[in-house]
Amino acid sequence: MKKYLIRSSIFVGLSLLFFLPAFVLLIVTKEAFVNVDKYIKSDEPYLIGYGMNEENYKYLKWQSIIKRPKNEVMALGSSRVLQFRKEMFTSPFYNAGFTIQKMKDFLPFIKEIPKEKRPKILIIGLDQWMFNPNTNKVPSHYISKPHWESKFIYFPTMNNISKAWRYITEERNMLFLRHKGPLKRVGINASVYNTGFRNDGSKYYGYQIYHLLNEDYEVYDFQFEETIKKIKAGDQNFEYSTELDFDAYNQLYTFLTFCKENKIHVIGILPPFAEKVNKEMCDYNYAYISKIFPRIQPMFDQLGFESYDFTSMAKHQSNDLEMLDGYHGGEKQYLRLLLIMLKEKSILNQHCNIPQLENDLENAVNDLKVYLN
C-alpha cells in the first residue's frame, strides 16, 4: 500500500509538472478555455490571434457575419484580402478573408449566408494560383458550414499542451513581454506577438511590421527569401503552369451568376505580389498568370461587375517596402489600390470618401500602416 501511494504521488507530481505550466500559459494568454462569442457580441475593440488553434478563425468569421448587424460591403477571400479595413469605408464593412482557399469555395460560402445578412457589395480576392491547374490538384482543407457553426476548440488538446511547452522553452523571453492596453486580447499571437484579427475581420501583423521596419533579417520572408524558395521549388501555391484551369473559370462564372441573381455587386481583384517576386516568376513557368485578367475581365463586364488587376503595383507609386511578405500587401498598399478603384468610377464611391482616404494615405503611420491601431 505504501509503495502504491508513493508511486501515485510521483505520478501526480510529474503530471502536475507537465500540465500545470502549460495550462497556466493557455489560461493567461486565453489561447484556450475562452469562447469568443462574448467578444463577437460586444463592441469593445479586440485582437484575436491564436498560436495553435487557427481553425477557430473560421468560427469567428462566420459568427461575426450572422450574429452582427448586416454589412453593406464585405471582402471575401484568402489572407490576401485582410488589409481592407472599416476605416476605409463610410458604410458598414466586414472582412471575411481567411475563409477561402480555392475558387470552388466562394459559392457555398455566400450561399450559406442568410439572405438578410448578405452584403450589397462583395470584394473578392482572386489569388492568381486559384487559376493554376497544378495548384488545384493539391487537396485543400475547406471547412463546410456545419463546422463553421459548431467547430470551436475550447479545451486544449495534447498537441496544444506540447506546443505550449515549446513556447515555454523556446519563447520564454517573449512570454514576459505580453502586450497590454485597451484592446481585449485573445490567444498567444495576440497577447505575445501583437498579431490577430480585429473586430472588422481585418488582420493586424504587429510582430511582422515591427521587425520589417527595423530590418530584422530573422523575420519571416525577409527580402522575400521564403517566397523565392517556393518559386524555385515550384510548390506551396507556386506550382508551375503555362495554362489556365478552366474548371476554376467555370466555377467563377457560376459564382458570379449567383451573385447577379441575388443582387450582390461583385468586385474582383487580382492581389499584388512584391515586384521582386514578379521579376523572379518571369524566369520560371508562370505564363498562366498573364492570361488570367484578359480571360476574366469580359466575364465581369458582361454581368455588370468590376475587375481589377493589381498583380503588379509598381505602376501605382507603390514599392516592395509596402509588402508584408512576397504575396501579402500591407495596409498602405491596399489603401492605394482602393483609391485606384474609386478613381476608375467604382460603385464603391457610394461607400467611400476619396478626400478622406487621400488624406489618410498622405499621413500614413509608416509604409505598412495607415492607421494607428
Q: Each residue of 280-291: pLDDT tens digit?
A: 999 899 999 999
- Say if 367 falls within a structural domain: no
Q: Going by C-beta distance under 8 Å and a sequence separation of 6 or more, which residues neighbour residue 371?
A: 85, 87, 331, 360, 365
Query: Exposed (0-12), middle (13-18) or buried (19+): which is 240, by Cβ within 10 Å?
Result: middle
- Say if 368 falls within a structural domain: no
- Say if 373 falls within a structural domain: no
Model pLDDT, residue 149: 58
- For residue 295, give its domain range: 2-362
CA dihedral 317, 363, 274, 52 (to 10 degrees): -160
Q: Whole-prediction pTM value?
A: 0.91
Report the number of distinct structural domains present in the chain.
Answer: 1
Model pLDDT, residue 182: 77
Model pLDDT, residue 158: 75
Model pLDDT, residue 248: 98
- Say if 372 falls within a structural domain: no
Q: Going by C-beta distance under 8 Å and a sequence separation of 6 or more, which residues neighbour residue 223?
A: 217, 276
pLDDT-derived band at 196, boundaries 50, 70, 90: very high
List % helix, strand, coil for the chain (3-state, nearest 5).
50, 10, 40
Sort strands 184-186 and 46-48 into parallel, antiparallel or unpaired: parallel
Residue count of the chain: 373
- Which amino acid, one-letter code, is at 297? Q
- Say if 273 falls within a structural domain: yes
Average pLDDT, the chain: 89
C-alpha 309/C-alpha 268 separation (Å) is 9
Give the single-character DSSP code of 70.
Answer: P
- Say if 255 falls within a structural domain: yes
Rounded mean pLDDT, 73-86: 98
Tens digit of pLDDT for each residue in 170-181?
665 555 556 667
Model pLDDT, residue 16: 46
Tens digit of pLDDT for each residue in 101-152?
999 999 999 999 999 999 999 999 999 999 999 999 987 655 455 455 557 8
Range in 180-184, 236-240, 281-285 the model is least confident about: 180-184
C-alpha 320/C-alpha 273 separation (Å) is 9
Model pLDDT, residue 326: 98
Give the single-character DSSP code of 156.
Answer: P
- Say if 370 falls within a structural domain: no
Tens digit of pLDDT for each residue in 14-68?
444 555 677 777 888 888 888 899 999 988 999 999 988 888 999 999 999 999 9
Share above pLDDT 90 across residues of the chain, in percent, rounded to a whole number = 73
Model pLDDT, residue 129: 98
Task: Please indicate whether residue 34 or residue 6 has the higher confidence score (pLDDT).
Answer: 34
- Say if 107 falls within a structural domain: yes
Tens digit of pLDDT for each residue in 141-181?
554 554 555 578 777 787 777 776 677 776 655 555 566 67
Rounded mean pLDDT, 364-371: 97
Closest to 129 measured CA to CA, from 277, 239, 10: 239
C-alpha 64/C-alpha 353 separation (Å) is 25
Model pLDDT, residue 15: 46
